[in-house]
Amino acid sequence: MPDDLRSPIKHHLVLHRIDPEQGIQRFYSLMIERDLFGTVRLVRNWGRIGSNGQELVEVFPNELEAGQALEAIAKAKRKRRYRDL
pLDDT tens for 3-40 read 445 555 668 999 999 999 999 999 999 999 998 898 99
Q: pLDDT at position 1, please? A: 37
Task: Output phi, psi for 6, to 5 deg.
Answer: -120, 20
* CATH of residue 20: 2.20.140.10
Total domains present in the chain: 1
pTM to 2 decimal places: 0.84
For residue 48, the enclosing domain spans 3-84
User: Taking 60 as the threshold, does the pLDDT of residue 2 lie above it?
Assistant: no
What pLDDT is attached to residue 36? 87
Beta carbons within 10 angstroms of residue 69's beta carbon = 16
Report which of residues 60 and 9 the model is more confident about. 60
- pLDDT computed for residue 4 by the predictor: 47
